[in-house]
Copies of this chain bind each other. A is one copy, B any other.
């Protein structure tokens, strides 16, 4: 039995980790921390957990946490993560960090998009935890940088095309939309029910969203050349889900059928990637609560564009589910353990 801690447990990704790990037969959650709610039971914060997980939230004291757990999920805001991760590593613990702090290999890039990096030394140890792209490196890692939600949907969507050199790496556009849980559980007017409901909007348009450098880093590695993308996130009145509609320019003629075959070959054996048949498009509703990434590649015959549409649950494959998938790899558990649950539909 693996003892795990969740640091920053009172947010939505923390809650989702608890939900998933509750059905994981090899794991015991032994420690939950929250700076705002220390002293309360987690089931008072999230009554859905009552009678199943009634642990008391504790203050984030790294040494105490490390005593209680062998593996630590850090579900903290950026910066807060890198303030504690070094201690966990020094104490020999495995860390799966859900923040952005260890995702960018170059601390200067981090500095340009976030702020000065406090822990560049550990960046080299960190493995970007997208199993479909980097499974073998994840297996041996002590520090996993769990990918962002938008990046997961976009990188999985484009990997076959870039890896095979079938599209122009220049000029890619990713038009994405997220459910509201992506904004977290902080009390903000912008996230109020009445501000969000029955509306749809873009935000962070024009190349300013912080997931951009992460997406570009990974896509550039896949394409084996530096590339830049245009990325526009949108907010959908729904709890969960990310859908990315990605536009690129084909190199040479292709067809939807060929692309579907290519994608199926590329992702053959992947337990959490589903390539939909030609003519069928993904919906976030079909992955809600599950660790799947549904993908439809297609060709616009009129304009020659290659379009890829991918859907994930931002809290599962886009955060906590992927973190558990990484944990399974790191710990040698079957990769799908605890992640067998089907989407909740409706």
Contacts and interface: CB of A to CB of B under 8 A. Distances in A.
Interface of A: 12, 15, 18-19, 22-23, 46-53, 171, 173, 175, 177, 179-181, 185, 187-189, 191-203, 205-207, 212, 228-230, 232, 234, 236-241, 243, 245, 247, 256, 274, 276, 280-290, 292, 294, 296, 298-303, 305, 307, 309, 311, 340-346
Given A205-B281, A205-B309, 15 more contacts: A23-B23, A49-B342, A50-B286, A177-B234, A180-B197, A181-B194, A185-B189, A199-B238, A199-B285, A199-B286, A199-B288, A207-B300, A230-B247, A232-B245, A288-B344
Nearest to A188: B187
Contact of A195 (B229, B256, B346): B346
Contact of A237 (B52, B193, B289): B193
B290 A48 contact: yes
A84 to B, nearest CB: 24
14 contacts: A19-B345, A46-B345, A52-B342, A173-B173, A175-B232, A180-B192, A180-B193, A197-B238, A201-B283, A203-B281, A205-B300, A206-B299, A237-B238, A289-B344
B230 A300 contact: yes
A206 B301 CA distance: 7
A224 B182 CA distance: 43
- Number of copies of this chain that the complex holds: 4
Interchain residue pairs A-B with the least CB separation, the first 5? A199-B285, A201-B283, A194-B346, A48-B343, A207-B302
Contact of A22 (B288, B299, B340): B340
A298 B205 contact: yes
Contacts of A194: 12, 180-181, 185, 191, 239, 346
Contact of A341 (B205, B274, B341): B341
Contacts of A298: 205-206
Nearest to A170: B303
A183 B80 CA distance: 32
A234 B196 CA distance: 18
Contact of A23 (B236, B274, B341): B341
Nearest to A313: B344
A22 B344 CA distance: 12
Nearest to A203: B281
Given A47-B286, A240-B346, A285-B48, A302 B195 contact: no
Nearest to A235: B283
A239 B198 contact: yes
A21 to B, nearest CB: 10
Given A301-B207, A342-B22, A238 B48 contact: no
A281 B200 CA distance: 11
B197 A239 contact: yes
